[in-house]
Amino acid sequence: MKSGAAIAVGALALAAAVGGGYWLGQSGKAAPAPVAAMPATGTAEPAKKAPKLLYYRNPMGLADTSPVPKKDSMGMDYIAVFDAEPGDEPATGNQIKISTDKVQKLGVRTEAVQLRSMDRTIRAAGRVETDERRIYMIAPKFEGYVERLHVNVTGQPVAKGQPLFEVYSPELVSVQREYAIAAQGVASLKGLDSPAQLGMARLVESALQRLKNWDISEEQVKALVASGESKRTMTFRSPVSGIVTEKKAVQGMRFMPGEALYQVSDLSAVWVVADVAEQDIGLVRNGSKASIKINAYPDKLFEGKVTYVYPTLKMETRTVPVRVELANPGLLLKPSMFAQVELPVSAKGPVLTVPVSAVIDSGTRQIVLVQLAAGRFEPRPVSLGERSDDHVVVREGVKEGELVVTSANFLIDAESNLKAALAGFGSASNTAPALVDTKQEATKSIASISHHAEGVVDSVDAKGNAVTLSHGAVASLKWPAMTMEFKLAHAALLKDLQPGAKVAVEFVERQSGEWVITSVKK
């Protein structure tokens, strides 16, 4: 019986095995065979470690962070801050790495370093002056009295040869009588070859020479010779056409030899004396053209020519006077008028230049931010040369064709300071409390460049992306309450800035003297 049972159990087991194999064959699936673990080869790439999220920060770079995602007052998403940018390699050396998203939001602009001719314009303040060579003084060379005035007011225009005044002089009358007597003696001794006739002729010549030495006109001398009679008064005439700029003569007054009674100035051409800064005087050359603008005639442009660079320097202003000569049609230019002078200066040849806005000047050094790749920048110290209105010469520090940041570079510089603060507290192996301290330092770094104010909007310049704000005192800058113009970080801020609106703003200094509003709250 026992052997029969064993045989039955074996038959059942065999039938189960055959049935299972048949089912597996019908289902098309074979049981996986165990495979021994293979050692890793050198070609297998290890999985990249995901960067660690630190916190979320304000998209405008303000002193506001959050441990969770959120939006600012304008609906902009806060930016995640990682140990390193996701999917990117960290910046090396002194490079600055900023996400391309933030680069767009900051409005970063770049421009290539170029060779250009540094033509520039020297601007200087000046004043209209009378041409010293066109000033004439009327000063009798004998003693006498003013008998009559033909021109009795200062500023009166006169023509050449026009009578100015008449004088009476006993000495003048005496010389005329002396001449008349000598002339009569010569006539009476005519035909006689005697010493007396020769003496009389010499006396006539002496009297005439004295009259000429006193600046008596040729016409008056000829009239005296023709008539042979002395006149009680003598008329003085204007030697040139011009304007009476000074009149000291008063009817009936006594004058002494050499005393100036009238001054007549010819204003058909004038000088403009410009005060050129000491550092620019080496570029000014005689004969170069100059453009002059006068406040009284804003729609007119006067052209002149540099004729003299004075050899002296004004210690008070550190400027050198430069003389510009120009015509004065219609006598529009009056002496002592204020003038704005522009002196174009041509460069010797092309030089390496960058835009003036690209230079960050700390006072002790100048740097530019060079874009190496998208979102990657490198600060470079540069040595600068001459400046034009828009560009500055770079002697060393950059190469032709490199891209330099021309807009929002102050924010990138602030970002580099932030990352320097983050890096200054140790490596990624720091404990959690150290990261908290680093975050606080980063927040302080951002807060140090932002300021708050409350005020009322006076006017809005949508085209210029600017607003005029009457604000209260700003404690962080020690400002009193005042009205001033602010630039806007982006056009979206205009919706909350309407004339008459009371607002609270947050702003930063983008460059020296330029204040930019980054946040607005009603």
Q: pLDDT tens, position by position, for the chain (522 residues)?
A: 444 444 444 444 444 444 444 443 444 444 443 434 444 444 444 555 566 777 787 776 666 778 888 887 777 788 877 665 444 445 555 677 777 776 766 677 888 888 887 777 889 999 999 999 999 999 998 999 999 999 999 999 999 999 999 999 988 888 888 877 777 777 777 766 667 767 777 887 888 888 888 877 777 777 777 776 778 888 899 999 999 999 999 999 999 999 999 999 999 999 999 999 998 898 898 999 999 999 999 999 999 999 999 999 999 999 999 999 999 999 999 999 999 999 988 767 788 888 888 888 766 778 888 888 877 788 888 888 877 778 888 888 888 888 888 876 566 666 555 455 444 443 333 433 333 343 444 444 444 467 889 999 999 988 888 899 999 998 888 888 999 999 887 777 888 888 888 999 888 887 767 888 888 888
Residue 383: what pLDDT? 86
Residue 18: what pLDDT? 40
Sheet with 242-247, strands from edge to edge, namely 135-138, 262-265, 242-247, 157-158
Q: Point out which residues pair with 330 in neighbouring strands.
A: none
Cβ-contact 238, 156 below 8 angstroms: no
Structure tokens of 27? 């289902």
Structure tokens of 346? 């041509």
- pTM value is 0.51
Query: Minimal CA–CA distance to 150: which of 160, 136, 163, 159?
Result: 163
Residue 431 to residue 446: CA distance in whole angstroms: 23
Strand extents, DSSP E, 131-173: 135-138, 144-149, 157-158, 163-168
What is the set of domains in the chain, with CATH numbers? 48-91+409-439 (no CATH), 109-119+349-407 (2.40.420.20), 122-130+266-345 (2.40.30.170), 140-259 (no CATH), 449-521 (2.40.50.320)
What's the half-sphere exposure (Cβ side, CA atoms, 13 Å) at 406? 14
Residue 437: what pLDDT? 42
Cβ-contact 128, 304 below 8 angstroms: no
- Helix, strand, or coil (residue 239): coil
Residue 6: what pLDDT? 45
Residue 40: what pLDDT? 42
Sorted by sequence, the CB contacts under 8 Å of residue 4 that are 6+ apart come out as none
The total of other beta-carbon atoms located within 10 Å of residue 244's CB is 20
Residue 433 to residue 438: CA distance in whole angstroms: 9
The total of other beta-carbon atoms located within 10 Å of residue 121's CB is 11
Residue 275 to residue 285: CA distance in whole angstroms: 14
Residue 36: what pLDDT? 40
Residue 508 to residue 476: CA distance in whole angstroms: 11
Residue 86: what pLDDT? 44
Residue 65 to residue 514: CA distance in whole angstroms: 26
